[in-house]
Amino acid sequence: MANLQPLFEAISTAKNERELRSQVIPNLGKYFTATRSGLFFFDQLPMVDPKLQKVFETALSADYNPVVRYLVDRHSPVHDEAISPKTWKLICPRPDHWHVLAGPLVNRGKLIGGVGFTRTQDMEAFDTQNLIDLSAICLHLSTWVATVRSTSLQSDRLTDRELEIATLVAQGLTNAEIGAKLWITENSVKQALKRMFRKLEVSSRAEMVAMLKAVEVAS
């Protein structure tokens, strides 16, 4: 049985989404002997021609796609053999997507994306062992999403001025000292910090600084 530990380590050490896509996902594709592999997030549906956008959204609709429906309902990996091969072939007759294996990316109890692998018609179908392995891998991918990706998305919500204030907070300056340095009132600093705490979903200066340092390390 192949060792999953190198894949777990690669996921945990991916510094950003670009690295996860360019390095980790291709290795997962090799592990599952897939002809195609991919990672998607529902908040990143491509902005394309409206007609193509509609087609893309339909393909990922739980009402249309039985694989997506399975992921939504169970938050568990699935392959085409488990949902009915005939049903899948009606949905996706492409020869390079003849066999499909998909796993969920979950954050805060919600399905926020998935990872998928396909094989051609002349290859063997994915099996139960593939489901077991992908289940373990998705646990690590979901953990990565909840830490590295979520933290990055939260920090991106801050304005340039808010990031400037956060930097001064990290240096240990008081609100009064930050106000003097930025030529704003102490109350303006207090109000800005309140907004920043809400955006980052933290409750203290220490939490905010720790989160932003995590983003800096991961970048």
Per-domain boundaries in the chain: 5-153, 157-218
Structure confidence at residue 47 (pLDDT): 43
Outline where the chain has alpha helix (H). 5-13, 17-19, 25-31, 50-59, 66-74, 80-83, 85-91, 128-144, 150-155, 160-170, 175-182, 186-200, 205-218
Question: So what's the pLDDT on residue 57?
Answer: 58
Q: Model-level pTM?
A: 0.66
Residues 73, 76: Cα–Cα separation, whole Å: 8
Residue pair 72/62 in contact (Cβ under 8 Å)? The answer is yes
- What residue ranges of the chain have pLDDT lower than 70? 1, 43-62, 149-157, 214-219
Supply 5's token pair: 């530990």
CATH of 5-153, picked from 3.40.50.80, 3.20.20.70, 3.40.50.920, 3.30.450.80, is 3.30.450.80
Query: What pLDDT score was predicted for residue 49?
Result: 47
pLDDT reported for residue 50: 54
Residue 117 β-bridge partners: 37, 101
Cα–Cα dist 102/61, whole Å: 14
pLDDT given at position 101: 94
Give pLDDT, residue 42: 78
pLDDT at 59: 61
Identify the pLDDT of residue 119. 94
Span 157-218 CATH architecture: Orthogonal Bundle (1.10)
Cα 123 from Cα 121, distance rounded (Å): 6
Q: Tokens 């249309």 map to which residue?
A: 64
Question: Under a CB-based contact definition with an 8 Å cutoff, are residues 2 and 31 in contact?
Answer: yes
